[in-house]
Amino acid sequence: MYHSFLKSVAAFAVSAVLVSPLSAVTLNIHNGGDPTSLDPHKVSGDWENRIVGDIFEGLLTEDPGAQPIPGQAESWTVSDDGLTYTFNLRDGIAWTDGTPVTAGDFEFALQRLVDPATAADYAYLQYPIKNAEAINAGTITDLGALGIKALDDKTLEITLEQPTPYFLGALTHYTAYPLPRHVVEAKGAEWVKIENIVTNGPYTPTEWVPGSHVTTVRNDGYYDAENLKIDSVKFFVLEDASAALKRYRAGDFDILTEFPTDQYEWMKTNMPGEPQVAAFAGLYYYVINHNKPPFDNADVRQALAMSINREIIGPQILGTGELPAYSWVPPGMANYGEPAHFSWKDLSYGEKIAEAKAMLEKAGFTDDNPLSLQLRYNTNENHKRIAVAIAAMWKRLGIDVSLYNTEVKVHYDELQRNILDIGRAGWLADYNDAHNFLNLLQTGIPNNYGRFSNAEFDALMEQSNGMLDLKERAGVMKQAEQIALDQTAAIPIYYYLSRNVVSPKVKGFEDNAFDIHRTRWLELAE
């Protein structure tokens, strides 16, 4: 009797130990691709950002709406000339092994980021910092020349090349996270292995099965740990969006970070409120090759841009209702206001077609002498649908369009080498500023695939650099945007949407233009 009582007590104790982690709140996220790394200097995808941004935290971090708020820094001051930022770190912040997070960890991390030996593919995001670009390109070899200094353990000073209005936003990015200097120096490249890694964010990784999932658990040493509602997150690798939706329906996932667009109508009817589609700071556009006649003729370019019926692309061809793009900068970028737009935006489609036809004729293209062009896109169902639709619209002007698709690596390789007539491209904002889009059209920028080159545009962009008055700066950039549109530098088609499916159990998921939803702000109702 006594024996069996002991046994049941033991069994109870064991089950209590076993049950308590099970009853912890676990969020299951369908995260898409396999992360390249957990090292913030080695990643570049949004699926990696979701994990890395939960386990590390920079001087600033994102609020539920993806706006910058204080992170590891409690406060900061900016010098009057806009060049020097001084950050004061919070008290009591520490790595998960208990070592304090110091200003030196930030200095170390940013030096490592721009060090050519690190080969960080996103290093250029911190080029606003003094000498970052020169060090990254190898023209300055002294890492100490970087404009970042730990004045003491709690105070960090960053000096910029020129005033950069979006710099605080850029500090929320994972390229600006601190690294545990003591671990990186002790373990080298192995520091990021799951058994070595220490982090300073609200969560810390405990398991990584490549091809399956990454698990993170709450970091009780985090300064805001008491407000964390979720104890553990599993980020699942699954690249097949239809399979992901099925697993969501079977209850495996609480959040899908992508869904098959052709299921949108079905989901709206059968799972109302769960698919969440929101404006995303990104532009889907076609590049025109300015070096190749007849596309060097502004009339030809405008005719091509005008004759696309953008209104039907989002609702009918993609089915998710992407908004038509008549500007180069998507609406809603910080410090910019309403973007400029094509002068012909408000004409009816019939009028646009008529005018486009007249412009083509003026350029010498008639039914007997049709314009023929090649439209390139990277292999993808949606790109194909759009290309086919746009080719049909251009056929109405008598243009002879041939479609050409290649896999993504080849596509971008050829765009970069300026091998194209018209080619599909897209851009998602790296930071919340119109400059990030307008910059794509500047002379000499590798991403300027079409090689648009306009002295006046370049001069205005140059002028906007370093302007301290944000209103004035926006005005100058908008003038530049208007020039790009009047010249039809490229053909904007639609603004991207983010596509998530969120279970009604998940609270605190706010739509935002950067599609960043840190677990810290989420809650999972039973």
Partner 1 sequence: MLLYALKRFLTTIPVLWIAITVCFFILRLSPGGPFDGERPLPPAVKQNLEAHYNLDKPLVQQYAIYVGNVLQGDLGPSFTSEDFNVAEQLKLGLPYTIIIGGAAFIIAVLFGILAGIYGALWRNAWPDYVLASIILLGLILPSFLLAPIFQLIFGVELGWLPVGGWGDGELRYIVLPVAVLALPHIARISRLMRGAMIEVLHSNFIRTARSKGLNTGPIVLRHALKPALMPVVSYLGPAAGYLLTGSIVVETIFGLPGIGRYFINAALNRDYGMVLGTVIFYMVLIVMLNLIVDILYAWLDPKVRSQ
The residues binding partner 1 (CB under 8 A) are: 34, 36-39, 42, 44, 116-121, 123-124, 133, 136-138, 192-193, 208-212, 236-240, 242-244, 246-247, 249-250, 252, 406-414, 416, 425-426, 446-447
Q: Which is nearer to partner 1, 85 or 449 (CB)?
A: 449
- Nearest approach, Cβ of 327 to partner 1 (angstroms)? 21
Strand 400-406 relative to strand 422-428: parallel, antiparallel, unpaired? unpaired
| Separation of alpha carbons 194 and 207, rounded Å | 7
- Nearest approach, Cβ of 192 to partner 1 (angstroms)? 6
Strand 26-30 relative to strand 60-62: parallel, antiparallel, unpaired? unpaired
- Nearest approach, Cβ of 362 to partner 1 (angstroms)? 35
Angle between helices 298-306 and 349-362 (to 10 degrees): 160
- Nearest approach, Cβ of 454 to partner 1 (angstroms)? 21
99's tokens: 């070592």
Q: Which is nearer to partner 1, 73 or 255 (CB)?
A: 255
- Nearest approach, Cβ of 58 to partner 1 (angstroms)? 20
| Separation of alpha carbons 523 and 231, rounded Å | 10
Q: Which is nearer to partner 1, 1 or 22 (CB)?
A: 22
456's tokens: 């006046």
Q: Which is nearer to partner 1, 140 or 298 (CB)?
A: 140
**Cβ count within 10 A of residue 519:** 27
110: left (phi over 0), alpha (psi -120 to 50) or beta: alpha
Q: Which is nearer to partner 1, 36 or 443 (CB)?
A: 36
501's tokens: 């499916």
14-26 residues labelled b (16+ CB within 10 A) or e (exposed)? eeeeeeeeeeebb
- Kindly list the distances between the CA atom of residue 385 and the CA atoms of 228, 231, 279, 391, in Å, as whole numbers in the listed order: 43, 42, 21, 10
Q: Which is nearer to partner 1, 290 or 357 (CB)?
A: 290
Q: Which is nearer to partner 1, 103 or 516 (CB)?
A: 516
| Separation of alpha carbons 381 and 318, rounded Å | 10
Q: Which is nearer to partner 1, 135 or 467 (CB)?
A: 135
Q: Which is nearer to partner 1, 195 or 226 (CB)?
A: 195
Which residue has 């007849």 as its token pair? 294
- Nearest approach, Cβ of 135 to partner 1 (angstroms)? 10
Q: Which is nearer to partner 1, 231 or 252 (CB)?
A: 252
- Nearest approach, Cβ of 212 to partner 1 (angstroms)? 4
Which residue has 């012909």 as its token pair? 344
| Separation of alpha carbons 289 and 451, rounded Å | 7
- Nearest approach, Cβ of 416 to partner 1 (angstroms)? 5
User: Is-cis flag, bond preceding 294, omega within 30?
Assistant: yes
Ordered DSSP codes for 33-67: SPPS-SSTTS--SHHHHHHHHHH---SEEE-TTS-
- Nearest approach, Cβ of 76 to partner 1 (angstroms)? 28
- Nearest approach, Cβ of 462 to partner 1 (angstroms)? 18
| Separation of alpha carbons 135 and 144, rounded Å | 10
121's tokens: 């593919």
Could you tell me which of 28, 44, 50, 174 has the C-alpha nearest to residue 516? Answer: 50
| Separation of alpha carbons 459 and 480, rounded Å | 9
